[in-house]
């Protein structure tokens, strides 16, 4: 019997699209989480166990994007708009690629907008990249 080895995809090779436009080199994306809420139901006369019924899906974590600061101010300006009360929800797609650069998985986030921006830690004794962090709330995601 022939065995075909399938290695897992490496997590360093990904893209982020915002409203269909590639928005640059992010060094980290986190917060892709979904969970089913559970409701316990105790059936009268049944003392062996409690029924655990599935409820709605919830997304417990915000999406967190990290990247080196560049002269592209689009994400910062989006955050500034939200601070002024101009909330523009946008669709976002995270694309995982294989080692040859071909897309192998997509996560499409619905109606996202920024809720937190963090600037870099600046240190005179370090030569690391200045990283900004943008945290987005969303209405759920699906894989395409």
* Strand ranges in 42-102 using DSSP code E only, listed in sequence order: 51-58, 63-68, 90-97
Q: What tokens appear for 57 in the block?
A: 């899906």
CA angle 75, 76, 81 (to 5 degrees): 95
Domains, the chain: 14-143 (2.30.110.20)
CA angle 128, 81, 109 (to 5 degrees): 75
Residue 16's CB is within 10 A of a number of other CB atoms, namely: 20
Q: What tokens appear for 31 in the block?
A: 């917060």
Mean pLDDT, each 10-residue run in order, the chain (144 residues): 69 82 82 95 88 94 90 87 95 89 91 93 87 93 86
Kindly report the pTM of this predicted structure.
Answer: 0.82
Taking CB atoms within 8 Å and a gap of at least 24, the contacts of 5-11 are 9/96, 9/98, 9/104, 9/105, 10/99, 11/96
Predicted local distance difference test score (pLDDT) of residue 2? 65
């Amino acid at each position: 019997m022939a065995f075909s080895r399938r290695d897992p995809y490496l997590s360093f090779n990904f893209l982020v699209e915002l409203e269909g436009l590639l928005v640059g080199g992010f060094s980290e994306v986190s917060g892709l989480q979904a969970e089913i809420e559970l409701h316990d139901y105790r059936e009268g006369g049944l003392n062996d166990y409690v029924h655990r019924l599935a409820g709605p899906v919830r997304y417990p974590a915000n999406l967190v994007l990290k990247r080196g600061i560049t002269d592209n101010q689009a994400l910062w300006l989006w955050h500034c708009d939200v601070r002024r009360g101009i909330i523009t929800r946008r669709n976002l797609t995270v694309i995982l690629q294989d080692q040859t650069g071909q897309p192998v998985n997509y996560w499409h986030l619905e109606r996202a907008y920024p809720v937190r921006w963090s600037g870099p830690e600046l240190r005179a004794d370090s030569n690391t990249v200045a990283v900004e962090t943008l945290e987005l709330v969303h209405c759920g995601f699906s894989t395409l």
